[in-house]
Amino acid sequence: MKLGISSYTLTWRVGVTGYDMPSSPLTAQGLLLEAYRHGIQLVQIADNLPLHLMSEGELLRLKMTAQSLNVELEIGTRGTDPAHLLRYLHIAQLLDARLLRTLIIDSDPANAVRQIRQVLPLFKKAGVQLSIENHGLHTTKQLARLFEEIADPLVGCCLDTVNSFSALDSPREVIGNLMPYLLNLHLKDFEIKRVEHQMGFVITGTSAGLGKLNIPNLLDEVRRQRKDHANAILELWTPYQGTVESTVSLEQKWMERSLGFLKPMFNAIGG
């Protein structure tokens, strides 16, 4: 199991829709250099840095940079439209990426099952895993049924520890229901606090190790279920700090603090 960062580790530095852009937006090439500077050999480039908008020449230069820095690439997108998935399969092959993470954006999981089955033979031929993230549109039990129905080891879960609150699934339920199908792990720590007037709660991100997610127990469960082949990607929900630049600064500090917390654990398990 390797520890990696993604374009959703430094989301504000990439740029967030509806807010000012940072003075120096982070590019895919810049994300690779950021990983290298912090001794990280895995990068997941997700849909907030859409790879299908890059030319083939740009993609090949990205691959060359990754190879020169000894950084493994994983890629991500949204949706299960067959034509779109095949476009990303081509990108995965160009980049030597062995995993494509996506989200189901259709409210009916049965439609996603039909679409995935259309492209699965080509994913199998290429040896590229299709990792479907729990993103809150469906319950984790619905996703577990989808994985059981497809019943192929190349199709599994990108398990995000926080996303399913919107489907009323706690991290404990997420881990219990989806760990058997794990292909990729998104480590995202969080805090739950009452609002000032006490009538309600807010869920916010924290740097890894400072929130409510029991990361040592989570990694123990990964090993117990023999899912050590799955890589783990640090993600952050950094709260807005009033300006984009101050938020980018906090996000950077959280990433560095999080990596400092996580690296000894991954070194201990050989990641």
Q: What is the pLDDT of residues 35-59, one digit of tens each?
A: 999 999 999 999 999 999 999 999 9
Q: How far apart are CA 110 and CA 66, in angstroms?
A: 37
Share of the chain above pLDDT 90, in %: 96
**What does the mean pLDDT of the chain come to?**
96
DSSP 222: H
> Which value, to the nearest 10 degrees, does the dihedral of the CA atoms of residues 40, 262, 189, 160 take?
60
**Quick one: pLDDT at residue 94?**
97
For residue 195, the one-letter residue type is V
Q: What is the pLDDT of residues 139-195, one digit of tens each?
A: 999 999 999 999 999 999 999 999 999 898 999 999 999 999 999 999 999 999 999
Q: What is the pLDDT of residues 256-268, one digit of tens each?
A: 999 999 999 998 7
Homologous superfamily (CATH) for 3-268? Divalent-metal-dependent TIM barrel enzymes (3.20.20.150)
Q: What pTM value is reported for the model?
A: 0.95
